[in-house]
Structure 1
Amino acid sequence: MLKIKSFNLKRRLPTCYLLSSKVLLSLAVILSVYFIVMDIKLFHHAKTRGPYSGIKSSKNLSKFGLGDIKNKKYSLFWPLPVKKIMMAEATHFIRSPIAEFVEHGLGFSNLFPFISANFISVTHCILSVVTIKFLMHDSLFWRQIGVAIFQFRNFLDSFDGVIFRVHANKTAYTSHYGSLGYYVDAFSDVFGGICLVGSIALYLLKNRPPKKSLTRCFWLADDLVESGSTIEKSALTRSTSSDDLFNNLAVNSNLRNKSPKEGIHATKITILTSVALLGIRIAVSAFFWDKSVRAYQDLLDSPAVSELHQKLQVKILSSTFTLLIMILWRIMNALSLQDMILTAIFLDKTWEFVVKSQLVGWIVLISLIILTELHIAEVRSILLQVI
């Protein structure tokens, strides 16, 4: 009786790939633990932060708020405005410290005073276009290179904010809504997201993933071809009656007669719809994150009109419920979602992430948006009573 060679994943994969997978898994675990520990410290510092700005009528705001920031050493937790509490972990704990070191430690602006924040924004727009060619490549190695380039693009997105504050002689860590730099930065972020999602769509259309229900059939057929067996021989070895033999031959004949991408791979409509929903989720997340940051800044980081108003600002910000909403936005904002996507691309799990994250991602995001809008409305009504 003919023996069919079984599928052995470890036998198929090179040893170096298995070792690199373990290294990547270890790095992922280390980064996750690092982010969790730092978020716990952030939570503690935010609860004891105190007022971020002073009272409007006060002439000396330093005793209420930031004090002399220029004479302070850089700290991850000081100053701690709303925007920093709500930003992505990778930006807060990795990209921003590196950007601050390049500027204040290496003196970037002194060496290159002609490089502006807008110039850096245009540069990472160009890098976004460059990564399309890499991220849609058939080779995993070149896609991983594309991930590295896009991560450098994300670093520049943090670095242009540092350069803007230095050139504008501004110390407050806040979004400068309405300025030219704000719109340039917003456009470059949107453009980068479009390039990332577009490259995913192009890659998946070129390398259409198999349907989940037929993935096992593909692996089995591949093993049969490798062992010199045919699908009909497989049916013979598995059949115990003439009826079973007839049914197996009919099913296998249908599979064999179909084109490689007909009925077996995900359709183009499925791929485009799934990727489009991912892009919409990034856009919705970015819009409501920015909207929430602006609202919380106006309510909790703006100068108070009285001591009672200031005490309420501090009390609301330090409440566990407020901080939980803000920390959830750290996980659900667009940059964090982009980091998850880039990790999936690096691990060659792009389609798995696109499909499996859809339902949970939308449920959590919509729930967080509704919760945030209700909370902001409640905070606004409370503060209006003392103004």
Structure 2
Amino acid sequence: MVCPSSHVSKLLLSVFVAVLLFYLFMDFNLYLRIQNYPIDRGALGDNTTLTYKDVTWVTCKINPLCDVTVKAVLLDHTNYYLFAPLVTIMDNILEISHIQYITPNAISVFHVFVAIVSAKCISSDSLAYRRVGVLLFEVRTFLDDLDGHVARVRKNVKGERSEIGTTGYYVDGICDALGCTALLIGTFVFLKNNPPRRGYMQLPTSSDSKDAIIYKSKITSNKVSKKLFCFAAQLILSSMAWNRYIALYQDMLERNDVSVEEFVRQNEVFKSTFFFGVTWLWRVVNVHNMLHCLLLGIFCDKLWEFLRSVQYVGFVILLFVIGITEVNVTEVRKFVAQKTYTNSTNF
């Protein structure tokens, strides 16, 4: 061993806390950026005012706060603040987007195979192999960001956007679904081969010997299947709702075929604190972040504890966020489409 496992645990915990603090710091800066600087909307934007690009010290080539879009503010923290800038840096070095035979769809298909290898590792009895599987699945997520980046660069699209209805949109969705399915299968195989126990009890023995530990019965495969089925259902519900709200908000807030008054109201919605709060909730409960949490549970050897804790609570949280979002969507639709402008920002 290089160092005691307790030291490794403390190091990993410190890294985890540092990453969470970084995410909160970036969220705070994103809020200030939206409040204080105009959102670039192409021809409808006001080029005479001071923009965020004029004041930021981090180049907009890798700064995720420059191009604020609906999908960006709904995207999970890891993809938005870590993977997206890293993908851009890698593309700037390797110029992948300029290699014509490397297409976004080819990248999407390739990361399915990475997910399958990851699932194979996660099904292993060895914690070390399972951790390798977690890292491989995060590589798959990185490649998922890469295919979207390459597609946007080749179409000269700035910022995170979903091109709903295109072939690439459906190919990416199918490949993501296959990768998630592989991960869940790998997780099921591991739990089936290594069923968790209900707990243990200590039996007193003679004073000369230690207490005997007797483990209780193992969890059955049916209960493992039930908890995994509940989590899979939560992933599907989160994915469907998340993609629905991206489509709705993009249509309401990013259309350019609107009047000047509607454009002003679109920006008012973006500046609304309630809208920012709703989008922040989706950063936490969207399908990508749920997978990050599952992978964290696997990495920390707390998979069963994680599945047990979210079995029912996960549905309650998701339905709560969906309910709030539905209310917000209704209010935003009414506000943006209204005939006269008001100063109300209660969205």
Tell me the TM-score normalized by structure 2: 0.87
Query: 1:104 — aligned with what?
Result: 92
Instruction: Encode CA deviations 1:15-38: one digit per residue, 9 max, x unaligned.
Output: 722221111111111111111111
Query: 2:255 — aligned with what?
Result: 302
Matched letter for residue 380 of structure 1: R
Matched letter for residue 143 of structure 2: L
**Quick check: 2:61–2:88 contact (8 Å CA) kept in 1?**
no
Q: 1:314 aligns with which of 249, 254, 267?
A: 267
Displacement of 1:316: 1.5
**Quick check: 1:84–1:92 contact (8 Å CA) kept in 2?**
yes
Matched letter for residue 244 of structure 2: K
Structure 1 stretch displaced more, 377-386 or 308-317? 377-386
Query: 2:121 — aligned with what?
Result: 134
Displacement of 1:367: 0.3
Larger Rg computed on CA atoms: 1
Query: 1:370 — aligned with what?
Result: 323
Query: 1:28 — aligned with what?
Result: 16
Q: In the superposition, relative to structure 1, how do residues 318 and 374 fare at CA in structure 2: closer, same or farther (>3 Å)?
A: same
Matched letter for residue 153 of structure 1: R
- In structure 2, list runs of 5 or more residues that go unmatched: 54-58, 341-347
Counterpart CA distance in 2 for 1:90 and 1:278 is 20
Q: Secondary structure at the match of 1:366?
A: helix
Counterpart CA distance in 2 for 1:336 and 1:27 is 18
Q: In the superposition, relative to structure 1, how do residues 358 and 230 fare at CA in structure 2: closer, same or farther (>3 Å)?
A: closer
**Quick check: 1:89–1:330 contact (8 Å CA) kept in 2?**
yes
Q: In the superposition, relative to structure 1, how do residues 33 and 97 fare at CA in structure 2: closer, same or farther (>3 Å)?
A: same
Q: 1:77 aligns with which of 50, 60, 65?
A: 65
Q: In the superposition, relative to structure 1, how do residues 276 and 301 fare at CA in structure 2: closer, same or farther (>3 Å)?
A: same
Counterpart CA distance in 2 for 1:62 and 1:314 is 10
Query: 1:125 — aligned with what?
Result: 112
Q: Secondary structure at the match of 1:77?
A: coil
Q: 1:336 aligns with which of 289, 293, 302?
A: 289
Matched letter for residue 22 of structure 1: K
Matched letter for residue 200 of structure 2: R
Displacement of 1:307: 1.8
Q: 1:44 aligns with which of 20, 26, 32?
A: 32
Mapped pair 1:353 → 2:306: yes
Counterpart CA distance in 1 for 2:211 and 2:248 is 65
Displacement of 1:363: 1.4
Q: How do residues 185-200 of structure 1 correspond to structure 2 at under 5 angstroms? A: 185-200=172-187
Q: In the superposition, relative to structure 1, how do residues 30 and 74 fare at CA in structure 2: closer, same or farther (>3 Å)?
A: closer
Mapped pair 1:144 → 2:131: yes
Matched letter for residue 267 of structure 1: T
Displacement of 1:279: 0.8
Matched letter for residue 330 of structure 2: A
Counterpart CA distance in 2 for 1:326 and 1:313 is 15
Q: 1:216 aligns with which of 164, 177, 200?
A: 200
Counterpart CA distance in 1 for 2:282 and 2:226 is 25
Counterpart CA distance in 2 for 1:75 and 1:125 is 28
Counterpart CA distance in 2 for 1:273 and 1:51 is 45
The structure showing larger relative contact order (alpha-carbon pairs under 8 Å, at least 6 residues apart) is 1
Q: In the superposition, relative to structure 1, how do residues 78 and 385 fare at CA in structure 2: closer, same or farther (>3 Å)?
A: same
**Quick check: 1:131–1:150 contact (8 Å CA) kept in 2?**
yes
Query: 2:345 — aligned with what?
Result: none
Query: 1:182 — aligned with what?
Result: 169
Counterpart CA distance in 2 for 1:178 and 1:51 is 25
Counterpart CA distance in 2 for 1:47 and 1:190 is 36
**Quick check: 1:128–1:153 contact (8 Å CA) kept in 2?**
yes
Q: How many residues align?
A: 330
Query: 1:277 — aligned with what?
Result: 230
Instruction: Encode CA deviations 1:293-336: one digit per residue, 9 max, x unaligned.
Output: 11111111111522211111111221110100001101110101
Structure 1 stretch displaced more, 152-161 or 302-311? 302-311
Displacement of 1:375: 1.1
Matched letter for residue 303 of structure 2: T
Q: In the superposition, relative to structure 1, how do residues 230 and 375 fare at CA in structure 2: closer, same or farther (>3 Å)?
A: closer
Q: Secondary structure at the match of 2:312?
A: helix
Q: In the superposition, relative to structure 1, how do residues 181 and 267 fare at CA in structure 2: closer, same or farther (>3 Å)?
A: same
**Quick check: 1:51–1:313 contact (8 Å CA) kept in 2?**
no
Q: 1:290 aligns with which of 213, 223, 243?
A: 243
Counterpart CA distance in 1 for 2:11 and 2:243 is 35
Counterpart CA distance in 1 for 2:7 and 2:103 is 43
**Quick check: 2:88–2:149 contact (8 Å CA) kept in 1?**
yes
